[in-house]
Amino acid sequence: GENVEQHPSTLSVQEGDSAVIKCTYSDSASNYFPWYKQELGKGPQLIIDIRSNVGEKKDQRIAVTLNKTAKHFSLHITETQPEDSAVYFCAASLSNTGNQFYFGTGTSLTVIP
């Protein structure tokens, strides 16, 4: 089965700096890679996703890059703000199977004002 690894487990940055979180996956058949943000006491919320036919996707201060050959993908947050502080999870899935999402173990991001 698929195995998703995520690094780092914790990350602290100064407000305004960039944050990068990296994930690797093992199953080359995986073709959908979402990122979720989980704030304290809440469920994960989808913030951005990318499919395997795309190398990069941006949404304002958030971007995700995908390297299919190396089987890794990354989340980039620029101009970080205190409200970006949360736990971020990456995941990998085989689209249209409709079942399993394989999640990373999460990165706790702290943005220091």
Partner 1 sequence: GAGVSQSPSNKVTEKGKDVELRCDPISGHTALYWYRQRLGQGLEFLIYFQGNSAPDKSGLPSDRFSAERTGESVSTLTIQRTQQEDSAVYLCASSFQRGDEKLFFGSGTQLSVL
Which tokens is 49 given?
């996703």
Ordered alpha helix ranges (H), 19-76: none
Segment 40-79, which members bind partner 1 (CB under 8 A)?
41-46, 49
- Residue nearer to partner 1 on the CB measure, 46 or 54: 46
- Residue nearer to partner 1 on the CB measure, 17 or 44: 44
CA distances from 24 to 7, 101, 102 (A): 9, 14, 11
Q: In the bound complex, what is the minimum distance in angstroms from residue 93's beta carbon to partner 1?
A: 6
Q: In the bound complex, what is the minimum distance in angstroms from residue 62's beta carbon to partner 1?
A: 16
Beta bridge partners of 92: 102
Q: Is 25 in the site for partner 1 (CB under 8 A)?
A: no
Binding part of the chain for partner 1, among 20-28, 61-69, 76-84, 94-102 by CB under 8 A, reads 94-102
Out of 7, 28, 95, 112, the residue judged to bind partner 1 by CB under 8 A: 95
Q: Is 73 exposed, middle or buried (0-12, 13-18, 19+ CB in 10 A)?
A: buried
Q: Interface residues with partner 1 (CB under 8 A)? A: 6, 32, 34, 36, 41-46, 49, 89, 93, 95-96, 98-106
